[in-house]
Amino acid sequence: MQSTLLATINAFGGRLFRRPPSGSARRARLPGGLTVTAGIILAASCLVALAGSLLMPYDPMEQMLLDTNQGISAAHWLGTDNLGRDVLSRLIFGTRISLLAGTGGLLFALILGGGLGLLASALGGVFEYLAYGFIDLLRTMPGILLALTLVVSLGSGFLSVTFALGLVFAPVFARIARAVYQREMSSEYFTYSLINGASRLWILRRHVLPNVLGAFVTQAGIILPRCIVTESVLSFLGVGMSPETPTWGRMIAVSSRYLEQNPVSVIAPVLALSLLTLSIAVLSNNLRRNTDVLRRNAAEA
């Protein structure tokens, strides 16, 4: 029983539980304090986003006009904003928006950029030229301005923000797709598959896709924080979600006018934003270091 359990654990977390080979300097690498902290923050954010309405002490939209711009108190842990809305409740609601819009934008960028990039590389010819022309077009527009114009054209709201984020970050994945495809194309098994009569699309699915997924996951860890930040910037500029939605960017924009009287209602969303993005960045950095087998072995040798 116990051995089955150990075998299962080993299968998933192999490196953590395996004994180091005797006489070798290799050791199981335990996650450091920073990584654990980052993991806890990210997990807590996800939990808060999921259980949002259970944790909110007040309705985030409810205005209590007698208690505007209050500091920290027992009734309002993070005070209230200029319309007397509870900052903690709005912060909790904003967590959900940030995570949803960030991951949504990331997924869209991954599917559009990665998918288009791979398909275009496999099909080649005019299609490749047009697809990468389009990608270059997106890349040449200054990101924030492109997102801004798109969101205003499509109307503010969750879907258009996600769409705009996806378009802004799609080129990153398209370029990776192309680089990996070209690398694989020059490998011998690719040539042999072609000689065997396999179609390029089949090779794409069977051989290139497994190779590109790792690179995509690594890049996704870098892009996710940037998606979250870009969403906040859009909301800060007043063109993101619909104006009544409590997002972190919106909270910062509104409260920044009362910075002197009520710094807490600005500092709270700023801290939340930077802690969330930092923890995602730390985790993805760690993932990259641990999955990059070549470099890891070089470092341990």
Partner 1 sequence: MQLLTAILLSALRTAGLVVSITVLVFFLVRVIPGDVVDLLSAEGGLDAAMQEEMRQELGLQQSRPAQLGNWAANAVHGDFGDSLRFHKPVGGMVCQALPTTIILSSLSFAYGLFLGCAVAVLAVLWPKSFFPKAVETLNAWSVAMPTFCAGLLGILVVVLWLEWMPMLGNMFLAVVVLGTDVAGQIAKPLYEDLKETATSKFIMTAKAKGLGKTRVILFHLLPNSLSVILALSGIILGGLVGGTITLEVLFGLPGIGKLALDGVLGRDYPLVQAVILLLAVAVVCINWFTDIIAKLIDPRLRSH
Question: Smaller CB distance to partner 1: residue 139 or 200?
Answer: 139
Question: Smaller CB distance to partner 1: residue 26 or 139?
Answer: 139
Neighbours of 212 (CB within 10 A): 23
CB of residue 153 vs partner 1: minimum separation in angstroms? 4
CB of residue 193 vs partner 1: minimum separation in angstroms? 26
Question: Smaller CB distance to partner 1: residue 62 or 300?
Answer: 300
CB of residue 144 vs partner 1: minimum separation in angstroms? 5
Q: Which tokens hold the place of 279?
A: 């923890």
CB of residue 142 vs partner 1: minimum separation in angstroms? 3
Inter-residue contact 42 to 283 (CB < 8 Å): yes
Q: What is the DSSP letter of 86?
A: B
CB of residue 182 vs partner 1: minimum separation in angstroms? 12
Question: Smaller CB distance to partner 1: residue 193 or 292?
Answer: 292
Strand extents, DSSP E, the chain: none
Residue showing tokens 């007698």: 66
Cα separation, 264 vs 94, in Å, equals 16
Question: Smaller CB distance to partner 1: residue 125 or 155?
Answer: 155
Percentages of the chain per state (helix, strand, coil), in multiples of 5: 75, 0, 25
Inter-residue contact 182 to 121 (CB < 8 Å): yes
Q: Which tokens hold the place of 65?
A: 């006009």
Q: By CB under 8 A, name the binding residues for partner 1.
A: 133, 136-137, 140-145, 148-150, 152-155, 225, 229, 232-233, 236-239, 252, 256, 259-260, 263, 266-267, 270, 273-275, 277-278, 281-282
Q: Which amino acid is at 38?
A: A
Return all residues near 173 (Cβ < 8 A) that are at least 6 apart: 109, 110, 112, 113, 114, 117, 216, 219, 223
Residue 230: C-alpha distances to residues 65, 164, 177, 249, 274 (Å) = 31, 10, 23, 9, 12
CB of residue 54 vs partner 1: minimum separation in angstroms? 28
CB of residue 22 vs partner 1: minimum separation in angstroms? 29
Question: Smaller CB distance to partner 1: residue 4 or 186?
Answer: 186
CB of residue 233 vs partner 1: minimum separation in angstroms? 6
Cα separation, 253 vs 266, in Å, equals 8
Burial of 27 (0-12, 13-18, 19+ CB in 10 A): exposed
Question: Smaller CB distance to partner 1: residue 81 or 203?
Answer: 81
3-state secondary structure of 59: coil
Inter-residue contact 245 to 238 (CB < 8 Å): no
Question: Smaller CB distance to partner 1: residue 55 or 278?
Answer: 278
